[in-house]
Amino acid sequence: MPPLPVLLYHSVRDDPPGWLAPYTVSRAAFAAQLDALIASGRTPVTCGQIAAARTGGPPLPENAVAVTFDDGYLDFERNALPQLAARGIPATLFVTTGALAPRNHSLLPDVAMLSLGAVARLGAAGVEIGAHTHAHPQLDTLHPSAAAWELTHSKEILEQALGHEIALAAYPHGYSNPRVRELARDAGYRAAFAVRERLSPETDEPYRIARLTVKSDTPAARFGAWLQGAGAPVATPRERASTLAWRYYRRARARVGIPCPLAESR
């Protein structure tokens, strides 16, 4: 089975605030990327299908692709969903429950967000909903009890609002470690998605499924290569030395109360 591109988006708009701009795709660029996805012959699948395939369930189509969104920005409903629906492409939205309108109780800066009611409406309309913690912390720097609360509280909020199980999670910034992944399993998630900037192989870990971030400056050629199963490494079980070093650095800063500047998810 060739490696799977799991595409990670955050925001689709033409006027993002500066802090979000690097992770924002314009409406025109998003349309072009979706058209390229359709032209590639890839079969769009949901994260639920990926989770099932990675845990012994039905295999994915040979040329599968998945589209995911993190955080829960209002522009998902206004700008992204209509373009996805027009092409029949499913998407998974991982929601930071503490950031939802009307109040922001998360570490994300203030910006227009979906409300919990809107998330429930999207779920009823067929959008696959997953949890992205409550406050959007770096889970691998937290005490295990705090990390467990983040994973379970967001799940409970979404389950109450949607009226069904929330089986999927995504780690803020893609950050996890073996303990966090164990906590995700203990919380009742069937799978969890990281970032890793890797293609996801058939043998990918169910609680660290690799994704590729689509950014404002992602070249069309690179995006096209991802759709061909190239242009990025294939994820392996072993954590990179740079990932471990970055984690230790962030933990050291967290212990003394120094905010850690965000960098590319590893």
SS3 category, 18: coil
For residues 51 and 41, give the distance between their C-alpha atoms in angstroms, rounded to a whole number: 22
Token pair listed for 158: 């979404």
Both tokens of 176, joined, read 């996890």
Kindly state whether residue 21 falls inside one of the protein's structural domains.
yes
Q: How many domains does the chain have?
A: 1
pLDDT in tens, 44-68: 999 999 999 999 999 999 999 999 9
Is position 241 within any domain? Answer: no
Mean pLDDT of the 117-137 span: 98
- What is the pLDDT at residue 260? 58
* Omega of the bond leading into 233 within 30 degrees of 0 (cis): no
Is 166 part of a structural domain of the chain? Answer: yes
Residue 248 domain-assigned (yes or no) = no
pLDDT of residue 250: 67
Q: Is residue 132 part of a domain?
A: yes
User: Quick check: 18 and 5 in contact, CB under 8 A?
Assistant: no
Residue 139 three-state SS: helix
Residue 155: inside a domain: yes
Q: What is the CATH number of the domain that holds 134?
A: 3.20.20.370
Task: Report yes or no on 253 lying in a domain.
Answer: no
